Amino acid sequence: GDSVTQMEGPVTLSEEAFLTINCTYTATGYPSLFWYVQYPGEGLQLLLKATKADDKGSNKGFEATYRKETTSFHLEKGSVQVSDSAVYFCALRHGGSNYKLTFGKGTLLTVNP
Amino acid sequence: NAGVTQTPKFQVLKTGQSMTLQCAQDMNHEYMSWYRQDPGMGLRLIHYSVGAGITDQGEVPNGYNVSRSTTEDFPLRLLSAAPSQTSVYFCASSYVPDRARNTEAFFGQGTRLTVV
């Protein structure tokens, strides 16, 4: 079945540091890939997505590229801010009988001033 | 737009009690689903629905029932609460295109349930 493996963390960075959160997946066919973010006490929000190989998703300074050859979708940001502190989830979804999102376990990011 | 609304936000139950978690969306989405979030486990699918009158089981359905009488509402029922059902529950909705691609899932703010 489908699975997503992501760096578990927690990750602690200083403001303006470079961020990478690794994500790899196992799936049949050609899934769409997503990064969701969960701020404290809130639900999940879509951060960015990519639907086919070599697509780059980007939003709020975050980027991730769909790499089919390495089955990866690593999240990067060049300069993190305190407001980026949250839990980040990598996920995949494709057509099938239940259209479900398959999530990684989440990575807690804390950015210190 | 309200998006996806879940109630209640917090709930404490005694073992054996039943309750219903409410979920409503105002985006006319066909697809609705319930997930539970547990530490170190990510989110796991409980039940889902692809339209009114159609529901099916996800990966962890035991102890939960759902129904979908309208497009807007998708309540989750705990039949006889157990401590193992202590978790944070999220409802999500989205469109269902031809092959479920390019579909952002919108999440509610969650219900934190404790079973004692």
The tokens for A69 are 């050859």
| A18: Cα separation from own chain's centroid | 15
Residue A44, exposed/middle/buried by CB under 10 A (0-12, 13-18, 19+)?
buried
Residue with tokens 């939003």: A59
Chain A nearest-CA residue for B89: A43
Confidence at A83, pLDDT banded by 50, 70, 90: very high
Chain B residues within 8 Å of chain A (Cβ atoms): 4, 31, 33, 40-43, 45, 48, 50, 56, 58-59, 90, 92, 94, 96, 98-105, 107-110
Give the residue among B115, B27, B18 at the shortest CA–CA distance from B75: B18
- Say what the pLDDT of residue B86 is: 97
CB contact under 8 A, B45 and A99: no
- Say what the pLDDT of residue A98 is: 66
| Min distance A88 CA to chain B CA atoms (Å) | 10
Average pLDDT, chain A: 92
What is the greatest pairwise CA distance in chain A?
A: 46
Give the residue among B73, B67, B90, B61 at the shortest CA–CA distance from B23: B73
Using alpha carbons only, give the angle A100, A108, B42 rounded to the nearest 5 degrees: 25
The tokens for B64 are 């939960």
Pairwise CA distance, residues B89 & B84, whole Å: 13
| Min distance B81 CA to chain A CA atoms (Å) | 23
* CB neighbour list of residue A108: distance below 8 Å, 6 or more residues apart: A9, A10, A11, A86, A87
Chain B nearest-CA residue for A1: B59
Pairwise CA distance, residues A76 & B95, whole Å: 28
Whole-angstrom CA distances from B18 to A11, A61, A75, A111 are 39, 45, 41, 41
- Say what the pLDDT of residue A81 is: 97
Q: Is A51 left (phi over 0), alpha (psi -120 to 50) or beta?
A: alpha
Pairwise CA distance, residues B74 & B67, whole Å: 6
Instruction: Calculate mean pLDDT across residues A55-63.
Output: 96
pLDDT tens, position by position, A22-54? 999 998 888 889 999 999 888 899 999 998 899
Pairwise CA distance, residues A27 & A4, whole Å: 9
Whole-angstrom CA distances from B62 to A2, A58, A60, B65, B83 are 21, 38, 39, 8, 13
Give average pLDDT by consecutive 10-residue segment, chain B, 116 residues: 90 97 95 92 91 93 97 97 97 76 82 96
Q: Looking at chain A, which runs of residues are DSSP E strands? A: 3-6, 11-14, 19-21, 23-26, 32-38, 44-50, 56-59, 62-65, 75-77, 86-93, 102-103, 107-112
Give the residue among A61, A59, A55 at the shortest CA–CA distance from A77: A61
